[in-house]
Structure 1
Amino acid sequence: MPFPFDIPDNEKSELISKILKYTTRTQEENAQLKERVNILEQEIHRLKGLNGKPDIKPNTPKNDDSSSKPGDDNDAGAGHQKRDTGKPDERTKKKRKKPPKPSNPIRKRVAPVNIPEGSEYKGLNLYGVQEITFTVSLIQYELEHWVTPDGDSIYGRLPESVQGYHFGPELRSYVLHQHHACGVTEQQLLESLWDRGVSISAGELSNLLTLNHDDFHAEKDDLLTTGLFHCPYLQVDDTGARHQGQNGYCTFIGSPEFAWFGSTESKSRENFLSLLHRPWTTLVLNEHAMSYLEDHNCPAKWRKVFQECLCVHFFNRESWDAFLDDCGLTKPRLRQKASEAMLYGSLLSHGVRSDLPIHSDGAGQFDVFIRSGCWLHAGRPIERVIPVNKEQVEEQYQLLCRFWDLYRELKAFKAAPDDKRASSVRQHFRQLVQTRVECSELREALSNLAVKEPELLAVLDDPNLPLHNNLSESQIREHVKRRKISGGTRSEAGRQARDTFASLKKMCRLHEISFWSYLRDRLNGYNVIPRLSEFIKKAVYGDMDEGFTWSSSDLI
């Protein structure tokens, strides 16, 4: 839109300057109100079940002389054409590669039809065709029954892989792979099995997917314990995960070396600490817990009560809650803070490092140990500002250019750490956040950026830390897709199975292990593939115990 208030500075009186300032502020407030009205209208449409505005991508603009150019008056406002601010296109690389063709092919020689007399044989032309075969068979185990001279009955023993099941390990592997790796719903999987001639009911299929997976659950829990002790940092994120018709949350904890998912009813800091503490049941009230309470402004009255119980061990969370009841601590916020301190102190007593970096998108529930922030999330408040005149457009553009220039400086520092370069980055960051701008929203965004300086520049102290949280977001997308397909879980066993097999699948993907081979290895009892926690140590330290080598051909 054109600006009717472009008056030369030498012609502006004090009154005109005040009017222009008031008009600019009014335009800014109107733009914000229009945005809020648009959001509220969309929410009303959603609640009423009406069709929303179609998500139609705009046509690619043509590069002709009639198109608007950056810097024109039309750049201002919500509909201005964006200029390139140099924002990096950081994408998580997909590591999966096409597997090699199967070895030991089945050879079938095909001769021509009607070979004329006198023809000369010149050898073979090879033409490979990959095929997969689905066959359903019933294995009837005839368990011999013998009676000893003492009158006792003895029976033939079933193979370990089928004890307790009426479905073989290959079928169970297929069911788990289709549901947890390929996202096939139970109903569609049931239809597929029936089409292939498998006699199985909906209840039996549900049991195969959710029950009797203790070994898988134990191996999944090993991932978190090993990651806490051996990985140089953790990356975390969370997303919604409904359970029994109620809103809940799934938290991802991982790194480039491992992936672990846990679903709970809340997303508080206490919940995050309890997830980190999940491998252990015992709790201890120690000096680390007291220090946490002091740092988080716990009233001196309660710190004195806890001081008298220093070094007391609690066998589980229930005994700790009973202790708080006996002390008369009933205020929910104070109980939560005390539980946070207890979990924090217990983690350190179990050997978790107090300087363990936690890399996140800046959410408050992850504010424990050493914080490391995501630059892509930190730049969004500046990008979300809606400029109302060309001066604000230019201010926003310049800030974003400087912000992403800083990001590139940090990437260069990670490639070649240097004290001089680190000092330069700190100086440029402070210059950025101290920039004077007229737009109030941009000032607020810069103030929030200044508060996040320690976590955004944590990489200067530890160059191994990442600059963005794309890994966590790409990993937790697994739960987002499943939520869109299935909605949520109904049983506790179903929720546990969903988290366990998502963790194991992602772990296999990280280390280029076939998830199908992994399932067959475990359910058939081959145990050719080492425990997945061993791959974390190999990735961190670059070595592994003797006898580690294995091949997928060993599982055939």
Structure 2
Amino acid sequence: MQPLTFHPPTCKSPAFLEHQQLQPEDLLRFITQQQEQIIQLKEQIELLEAEIRRLKKLPAKPDIKPNTKPPDDDTGSPDGDPSAPEGNDGASPDTSSKQKVKKPNEKTRKQRKQPRKPSAEKSIPIAATDVPEGSIRNGTTPFHVQELTIQTSSIEYLLEQWVTPDGQTITAKPPASLHGHHYGPMLQAYVLHQYHGCSVTQPELLDWLWDIGISISSGELSQLLTKGHEQFHAEKDELLTTGIRCSSYIQTDDTGTRHKGKNGYCTIINNESFAWFESTDSKSRENFVSLLHRPWSTYTFTDDALIYLEKLDYPKKWLRVLNPYRGVTFLSHEAWEECMKDLRLTGRRRQQASEAMIYGSLIQHGAGHLTTFSDGARQFDVFKHSQCWIHAERGLAKVHPVNDQQAMAQKWLRTWFWAIYDDLKDFKTEPTEKKAIKVRQGFQALIQTQTCSGLLQDALSGLAVIKEELLLVLDDPSLPLHNNLSESQIREYVKRRKISSGTRSDLGRQCRDTFASLKKTCRLYGLSFWDYLKSRLMGDGLFPRLSNLIEEASRHLPCGAASSF
């Protein structure tokens, strides 16, 4: 009997198959194709349901866990092939499709510690009561109590006045520590600490000041929070200047903020030695390089700028137009904008030209040694760029498997990924060429793995695209592996966004960025932000300059460029 020629299941109905005498291999092939079609249909249904939830703005499908632990599966590869290679550590990972993947416990180290208990300023003896007769005195037992004294006071300065022979009046000036306000430096420090350090809202702070007897209006409180802080703004600018000069890499991130009723963005530039915040209306790459360029005011169109444009496939027509400006120095960004206006550069071409201009100027000012480390956002891809491993793994974690086979493959890949991550942490502890080769080979094997899911395959392709950025740490072991530091630092603005509708004046936004930068930098060194504010407002000079701390720390921290000193 000649075997039947097999056709796709859509061409033959079950009634037709009942009257046919199929060979066993044909029947097995038919069943396999039916199973594959069912898997594909389940994937399509899952994707369509997710799209419907997105369009209707409904919450995502809940991840409901089973009541009992499912049995383990002995299969060890994404496609269920026991002969597939195991994890790069040589051990076969647990492939139970319903169990959570064991992720590394990466937490940001807390910089602050509980202060030491202060020594007692005075001792007050307390007699015992109801002591029976015949008892023998056995000394005393110390019972330490810490107390806070809040007391308002009012001072009147009698300012001398003189009348000159020509009829002019000369009046003595109030103490410089008042900074032009009618409130003492201690009260100013307290107001700034409560608002910027403890996130107390302005109405609540005003109510508390009234409760303790301070006569102040809401307008005067607003003046205290925003006016007369030039010394703080100047010190904040020093953080960025010194941080760029003394660091080998910087970490960065951004989050949404509101200003004058409109949505904007706050960008953080930081590492283990400093934290610097700036709020703007944009989150483009031009905005980011402009922030890095903040310490400098001049712009020079250099060869590096032309190389930058060539990498972007800039039109040759405009390259010929810009070429005569090579070596020309513009004294300000406004002067460069006027030049682009005269050249009629608009749109995306104008933005790219401005990026190149600032990039070339940064190289000329000595910032080309920096490596930027981020969560993978492309606006931060300047100079050498390294990426966060925790963010990179999210591509695998976000895949929604539609059957047990795909769930098992996803868990197997994620376990393999974190095994490579553990090897990379071991490499950072003791860098050797052997360990570096092991990480590279393991990562290459991971991204070349063939799976049973198209979505998982796309996630692996995404890892292949950023391979060099993820493995840049093998060339520079001082680079971090995750962006938790920036994420935790910028939560200051996430918290602000939840309790406030945003700033209403440019000066208010500047003060928010300034005091957040100073506060977070103090916390990095375990220093009291309260002591910092008191010292600066009273002018006693006891608190060290933050830029000096950055220079000293750069000699010891992994992020420091100690060779520049």
The aligned counterpart of 2:213 is: 197
| Cα separation, 1, equivalents of 2:168 and 2:57 | 75
The aligned counterpart of 2:416 is: 402
Is 1:38 equivalent to 2:57 in the alignment?
A: no
Cα distance change, pair 72–428 in 1 and its aligned pair in 2 (3 A): closer
Structure 2 unaligned regions, length at least 5: 1-23, 76-95, 558-565
- Could you tell me how far 1:20 is from its partner in structure 2? 2.5
Cα distance change, pair 72–425 in 1 and its aligned pair in 2 (3 A): closer
The aligned counterpart of 1:3 is: none
- Give the match's secondary structure for 1:273: helix
| Cα separation, 2, equivalents of 1:90 and 1:226 | 29
The AA in structure 1 aligned to 2:146 is: Q
Structure 1 unaligned regions, length at least 5: 1-8, 44-51, 74-79, 544-556
Correspondence 1:414-493 to 2 at 5 A? 414-493=428-507
Aligned residue pairs: how many?
A: 514
Cα distance change, pair 509–347 in 1 and its aligned pair in 2 (3 A): same
Contact 2:70–2:98 (CA under 8 A) maintained in structure 1: no
Is 1:344 equivalent to 2:346 in the alignment?
A: no
Cα distance change, pair 150–335 in 1 and its aligned pair in 2 (3 A): closer
CA RMSD of aligned residues (A): 2.6
The aligned counterpart of 1:18 is: 33
Correspondence 1:493-512 to 2 at 5 A? 493-512=507-526
| Cα separation, 2, equivalents of 1:14 and 1:531 | 76
The aligned counterpart of 1:180 is: 196
Correspondence 1:288-367 to 2 at 5 A? 288-330=304-346, 332-353=347-368, 355-367=369-381
Is 1:88 equivalent to 2:104 in the alignment?
A: yes
Instruction: Please list the CA deviations of residues 8-59 of structure 1 after superposition, one character each: whole Å capped at 9, or x if unmatched.
Output: x96754443333322211111111222222233335xxxxxxxx7999x989
The AA in structure 1 aligned to 2:371 is: P
- Could you tell me how far 1:178 is from its partner in structure 2? 0.4
- Give the match's secondary structure for 1:242: strand
Cα distance change, pair 11–178 in 1 and its aligned pair in 2 (3 A): farther
Cα distance change, pair 166–389 in 1 and its aligned pair in 2 (3 A): same
Instruction: Please list the CA deviations of residues 44-81 of structure 1 after superposition, one character each: whole Å capped at 9, or x if unmatched.
Output: xxxxxxxx7999x989x87xxx54334499xxxxxx97
| Cα separation, 2, equivalents of 1:196 and 1:81 | 61
- Worse overlay, 207-216 or 473-482: 207-216
- Could you tell me how far 1:113 is from its partner in structure 2? 6.3
- Give the match's secondary structure for 1:241: strand
Higher radius of gyration, 1 or 2: 2
- Give the match's secondary structure for 1:442: helix
Correspondence 1:53-132 to 2 at 5 A? 67-71=69-73, 82-103=98-119, 105-112=121-128, 123-132=139-148
The AA in structure 1 aligned to 2:292 is: L
2:545 to 520, 525, 531: 531
- Percent identity between matched residues is 50
The two structures have a TM-score, normalised by structure 2, of: 0.86
- Could you tell me how far 1:152 is from its partner in structure 2? 7.0
The aligned counterpart of 2:149 is: 133
Instruction: Please list the CA deviations of residues 323-362 of structure 1 after superposition, one character each: whole Å capped at 9, or x if unmatched.
Output: 01111212x1000000000010111111112x41111000
- Give the match's secondary structure for 1:140: coil
| Cα separation, 1, equivalents of 2:45 and 2:230 | 58
- Could you tell me how far 1:117 is from its partner in structure 2? 9.7
- Could you tell me how far 1:484 is from its partner in structure 2? 0.6
Cα distance change, pair 145–438 in 1 and its aligned pair in 2 (3 A): same
The AA in structure 1 aligned to 2:248 is: P
| Cα separation, 1, equivalents of 2:256 and 2:151 | 40
The aligned counterpart of 2:82 is: none
| Cα separation, 2, equivalents of 1:390 and 1:375 | 26
- Give the match's secondary structure for 1:541: coil
Instruction: Please list the CA deviations of residues 241-298 of structure 1 after superposition, one character each: whole Å capped at 9, or x if unmatched.
Output: 1111111000010001110001000100000000101111111111111111111111
- Could you tell me how far 1:459 is from its partner in structure 2? 0.4
The aligned counterpart of 2:388 is: 374
- Could you tell me how far 1:133 is from its partner in structure 2? 1.1
The AA in structure 1 aligned to 2:514 is: T
The AA in structure 2 aligned to 1:518 is: Y
1:223 to 212, 220, 239: 239
| Cα separation, 2, equivalents of 1:417 and 1:72 | 35
| Cα separation, 2, equivalents of 1:40 and 1:147 | 76
The two structures have a TM-score, normalised by structure 1, of: 0.87
- Give the match's secondary structure for 1:234: strand
Contact 1:86–1:405 (CA under 8 A) maintained in structure 2: no
Is 1:286 equivalent to 2:302 in the alignment?
A: yes
- Give the match's secondary structure for 1:129: coil
2:226 to 196, 207, 210: 210
| Cα separation, 2, equivalents of 1:231 and 1:542 | 11
Instruction: Please list the CA deviations of residues 464-504 of structure 1 after superposition, one character each: whole Å capped at 9, or x if unmatched.
Output: 11111111100000100001111211110111111111111
The aligned counterpart of 2:186 is: 170
The aligned counterpart of 1:546 is: none
